[in-house]
């Protein structure tokens, strides 16, 4: 299992041909308390960089972009009733959607742990 990051603070946890997408701990700290998550539609095909979801906090609304191209195969329905999961466990129970990765080569364009840590210093 590999986790990569975008410069927009999304993470992509790669499990085989599936990518689990959410926002990083850094991003949720910047946003503050999450009050609503607009989930993408299951079956929707996304290109890398497409707007996939929206996270609204007490401070602002923030778009979530697809870190790689693929098809949405699952969404985290728990966020509809408990959007605060994005705050309490952003990279665990607070994931936003899963996609079937369309172009595995795009994963190489994302940041690794060290590069993301450097960017958020």
- Give the global pTM: 0.96
pLDDT digit string, tens, across residues 1-54: 799 999 999 999 999 999 999 999 999 999 999 999 999 999 999 999 999 999
- What's the CA gap between 113 and 5, in Å, rounded? 8
Check which CATH number belongs to the domain holding 39 and give it.
Answer: 2.40.50.100
Say how far apart CA 110 and CA 87 lie, in whole Å.
23
The range of the structural domain enclosing residue 18 comes to 2-103
**pLDDT, tens digit, for every residue of 53-80?**
999 999 999 999 999 999 999 999 999 9
d(CA 114, CA 117): 5
The answer to whether residue 35 sits within a structural domain is yes
Closest by CA to 37, choosing from 10, 56, 22, 18, is 56
The percentage of the chain sitting over the pLDDT mark of 70, rounded to a whole number, equals: 100
DSSP annotation string for 93-112 = TT--EEEEES-GGGGGGSB-
pLDDT of residue 18: 98
pLDDT of 85 higher than 90: yes
Confirm whether 116 is domain-assigned: no
User: Is the residue at 97 inside a domain?
Assistant: yes
Is 72 a member of any domain? yes
């Amino acid at each position: 299992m590999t986790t990569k990051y975008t410069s927009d603070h999304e993470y992509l946890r790669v499990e085989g041909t599936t990518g689990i997408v959410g926002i990083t701990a850094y991003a949720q700290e910047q946003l503050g308390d999450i009050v609503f998550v607009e989930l993408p539609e299951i079956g929707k095909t996304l290109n890398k960089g497409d707007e996939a979801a929206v996270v609204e906090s007490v401070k602002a609304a923030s778009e979530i972009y697809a870190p790689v191209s693929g098809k949405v195969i699952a969404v985290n329905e728990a966020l509809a009733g408990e959007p605060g999961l994005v705050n309490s466990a952003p990279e665990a129970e607070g994931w936003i959607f899963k996609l079937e990765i369309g172009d595995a080569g795009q994963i190489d364009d994302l940041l690794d742990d060290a590069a993301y840590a450097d960017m958020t210093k």
